[in-house]
Chain A
Amino acid sequence: MDVDIVCVGFGPATAGFLTTLSRQLLKADGTPAIESTVTPGMPPQILCYERADDLGFGVSGVVTRARGLRETFPDLDPKQIPMAALVAEEKVVYLLDPIGASRRSWTVRAADACLRAFKGLLPLKNDALELPWSPAFLHKTGGLVLSMGQFMQWVGAQIQSTGTVQIWLGTPVSEALIEDRNVVGVRLLDQGVDKQGKPGEGFMPGMDIHAALTVLGDGPVGPVGQQIDAQFGTPENHHSRDWAVGMKFVVDLPENTPLKPGTVLHTFGFPEPEIFGFFYVQPDRIASLGIFVPSWFDSPMRTSYRYLQHWMLHPYLWRYLEGSKLRSWGAKTLGESGRRGEPHLAGNGYARIGEGSGSTNVLTGSGIDEAWTTGTQLAESVLELLKAGKAFTKENLEQSYVSRRRTSWLESEARVAEKSRDGFQKGFVRGMVGMALAGLTNGRLALNGEPVPPYQRIPTLEEYYRGRISPEEIDQLGKECRIKGVSLHSALMQRCGWPAIPYDGKLLVSHQDALLLGGKVQAPPGYADHVVFLYPELCQKCGTKICIELCSGQAIAPGQGGVPAFDREKCVHCGACYWNCSQSVPGNPERMNIAFRAGTGGLHSAEN
């Protein structure tokens, strides 16, 4: 099938692209402002293929300065968007460890002891310190608290109502079509196949969609982005080794909640110092809250779900959350390499936008506004080229799109942020100091620390628990968990003093209930497994099996012969396994042993 422009993935960047583009394709009288090359007499034929089953499934709640959004929607009224509120109050809170199970360095322990010793002089309440001051670069003053799911539904409806763009849902793109180093379109995913991808009943091979321009907005773990990186390489010294798993709950707060819409809380220090938390209050007593587990939290037992529950139970937060009810749940990974993870932004026949293009600002913790802006910048460039009758060559796209991006606030702020988190590579305290330095000096100063791939940084279980649990006991617990077919982290955390979660069936629910009640996770039949263990022998010798421990949906479990088993029906497509595998494949130190391919299904909630 031939079209003019095909987009891969409908996230905030593609939404920005299509919003800007769709407004200028028709004249006021309804005739084409620009003519299609494949359907003469019509406006350009623009299609967008999205993996998820509906608009806004699988993206996450956010607080944003909304600069880019307001450039597109100057009269933006949060009341138009469900679950949106103006930022009213921001607090940064240091959480102490009320349990004694958190793994804290001596510097953090010393700081905690000082805080507790001087608690009469400090605003220390509920085992937490509300920082009396926080740097301006962290603030989102004047910004918005949003449910990205609801925002994407809102903006998606507007785009489609123009009648100039079609957003096809539940339709993953398998790969880019490449001819002589030119991207000439995309191939959709095969349907009617078994788990291994072999044709079965109702087999329908993925259709080829030819387009003059392919817009890649498939996020940080998108298979087409991966393919383009593999095919065309990445700029020198650029790599994507920093990332985080974000996991969240959307809850109904109790009726007597004192929290006002627009309240924003950022936490650090607990359940582990490296884990950051967020708590955004939305209208109608709804709140989005959760944690980020970063790549530099060097634990082979990095479970997001269990840590999220302990975080909610912290006295500072629990006083707000007690009596709350789960509405929605979700998880995603975030590419946190920022500008250092930027791929080639354009080539012959393609351009990259959004998080997968390295747009996230790792200093300000801001990604949506940046992603949206990359989309609008590309749209302006595309309109410019279409009106001038110029082809979508690498040269033309660099002169229009890439140069626009380079001269905008996106680039200048990304440069300030570029090394701001390097300090975390050598410890939490050093990381916080490095961030402050970079932020307060506009990036002139930063603490060094080169990010390394996971297999160079994740310790073995025995190393991580040295002095706390003996290797024999770890081995014994591992055997018991394998027999039960469950992950190991709960047993080890319990052994280290983390208390059992007091399930209440409303907010504190099992991981499976969060998946089914909150995430409503689904996977349609007839598609191949999208998570593949490339070299089973590497899995067999892997001691940590970190893919099982961190899997956001419990979709990866102990399997036969030491190779983990993947259950597509539980996968939320967060991509944590892809980032975090501790085994590199032979001949490619940047490529881990898990392939994360195109797939269908996932979350069925538009509230995240």
Chain B
Amino acid sequence: MNTAYQIVVCGSIVPDPLQTLEPVTGPAGPALKNEMMLPAVLDPWASHALYEAANFAKHSAGSKVWLVSLGPKAKLQQVMMTVAQKVPFELIALDGPASGFTDAAEVAALLTEAIQSIPGLDKAKLLVFGGWESASRGAGATMQIVGERLGILDQFQGVDELKLNPDGSLEILERIEGGKHQVSRCVSPPALLGWATGNLPEPKNNPQVGMVNMRTAMPALQKAKPVKLAGESLTFKSVSLPKQLRETKIVKDKSADDIAREIVEWIRK
């Protein structure tokens, strides 16, 4: 039974969700105001996928994790200085836009090409991970298209758990309606998993992991392939922020029921 997997995580960067995001229309179409000034983080959905990948690899001897990441090189480099301390992986960097206003199919094509360029890639061992959606590319289509382009038929979206069965098959929990999970069994790789939040906490910063990762991450960043997204097949009619009303209140030591009750009252007002 082979349990040495090649796990490729697709994870790009997004503006730190804490920042104030303001869409503007520029000469090249919609963009975020001052996007290059905004601090970036690894897409939260992809982060879960990366941590799950590392955890799965840790328990499957001989496995290896790659992180394929598309974004402006300088921003990627900065984000790696946070992410690289978390879990071991080898970076494959693509130097290109990380805006939310990109075509999922185009992005998927680039990611697929990058995955296919991994030396020694063996589809019989391949697990492709990613977020089931993205904090900036909310279409939730990118990973599906990556899977299709790679010819992976077994795809799972909204994944919260992956287990290795004694017979070598994979047991996967996918989110479905009503707060329930659907349990699937996948006989063997290749498979594509679009992760929801998973169950793992954010790993602690480990300086040694960071040092090991940077031995490959820095060269990968230095030779990051510049890529372009033409955006020709996509037209945005308009972009705007959802209307919002904000009222700040900080409470602690209150039960979830009480908080929910207060929110309902506030909405009804």
User: Chain A: residues with CB nearer than 8 A to chain B?
Assistant: 1, 47, 53-55, 57, 82-83, 150, 153, 156-157, 160-161, 163, 166-171, 188, 191-192, 202, 204, 207, 209, 284, 327, 505, 510, 512-513, 516-517, 520, 522, 524, 526, 567, 570, 604-607
Residue in B16, B74, B205, B248 whose beta carbon sits within 8 Å of that of A157 in the complex = B74
Bound-complex Cα distance A359 to B18 (A): 34
**A157 and B204 contact, CB distance less than 8 A:** no
A54 proximity list for chain B (CB < 8 A): 16, 39, 78, 82
Bound-complex Cα distance A523 to B66 (A): 29
**B206 and A516 contact, CB distance less than 8 A:** no
Please report which residues of chain B, range 172-227, place their CB below 8 angstroms from some CB of chain A when the two chains form the complex.
201-202, 204-208, 210-211, 214, 218-219, 221-222
Distance between A519 CB and nearest chain B CB, rounded to angstroms: 9
**A605 and B207 contact, CB distance less than 8 A:** no
A284 proximity list for chain B (CB < 8 A): 34
Please report which residues of chain B, range 62-100, place their CB below 8 angstroms from some CB of chain A when the two chains form the complex.
74, 77-78, 81-82, 85
Distance between A553 CB and nearest chain B CB, rounded to angstroms: 11
Bound-complex Cα distance A55 to B81 (A): 10
**A512 and B210 contact, CB distance less than 8 A:** no
Residue in B20, B205, B211, B218 whose beta carbon sits within 8 Å of that of A517 in the complex = B20
B19 located at the interface, meaning its Cβ lies under 8 Å from any Cβ of chain A in the complex: yes
Bound-complex Cα distance A520 to B18 (A): 6
Closest to B208 in A: A1
A163 proximity list for chain B (CB < 8 A): 218-219, 222
B256 proximity list for chain A (CB < 8 A): none
Closest to A505 in B: B246
Distance between B261 CB and nearest chain A CB, rounded to angstroms: 21
**B201 and A168 contact, CB distance less than 8 A:** no
Query: Which 7 residue pairs are nearest across A and B when measured between Cβ atoms?
Result: A520-B18, A157-B74, A191-B204, A204-B204, A54-B39, A163-B218, A82-B37
**B82 and A607 contact, CB distance less than 8 A:** no
Q: How large is the interface on B (under 10, 10 to 19, 20 to 34, 35 or more residues)?
A: 20 to 34
A156 proximity list for chain B (CB < 8 A): 78
B202 proximity list for chain A (CB < 8 A): 524
**B20 and A327 contact, CB distance less than 8 A:** yes
**B82 and A512 contact, CB distance less than 8 A:** no
**A169 and B82 contact, CB distance less than 8 A:** yes
Residue in A150, A153, A192, A522 whose beta carbon sits within 8 Å of that of B78 in the complex = A153
Given A166-B214, A207-B207, A53 and B36 contact (CB-CB distance below 8 Å): no
Bound-complex Cα distance A512 to B19 (A): 16
Residue in B207, B221, B248 whose beta carbon sits within 8 Å of that of A513 in the complex = B248
B1 proximity list for chain A (CB < 8 A): none
Given A170-B205, A207-B207, A512 and B248 contact (CB-CB distance below 8 Å): yes
**B207 and A1 contact, CB distance less than 8 A:** yes
**B81 and A168 contact, CB distance less than 8 A:** yes
A157 proximity list for chain B (CB < 8 A): 74, 77-78
8 more contacts with CB within 8 A, not counting A54-B16, A168-B85, are A54-B78, A55-B78, A163-B219, A166-B214, A168-B207, A169-B81, A512-B248, A516-B248
* A-B CB contact pairs (8 Å), 10 listed: A82-B36, A157-B74, A163-B222, A166-B214, A169-B82, A188-B207, A202-B201, A513-B248, A520-B18, A522-B18
Q: Bits for B15-41, please: 1 = Cβ < 8 Å to A, else 0.
A: 010111000000000000010111100
**B78 and A160 contact, CB distance less than 8 A:** yes
Bound-complex Cα distance A160 to B73 (A): 11
Given A82-B34, A83-B37, A168-B210, A191 and B81 contact (CB-CB distance below 8 Å): no
**B37 and A171 contact, CB distance less than 8 A:** no
A570 proximity list for chain B (CB < 8 A): 250
A516 proximity list for chain B (CB < 8 A): 248
A150 proximity list for chain B (CB < 8 A): 37
**A510 and B248 contact, CB distance less than 8 A:** yes
B207 proximity list for chain A (CB < 8 A): 1, 47, 168, 171, 188, 207, 209
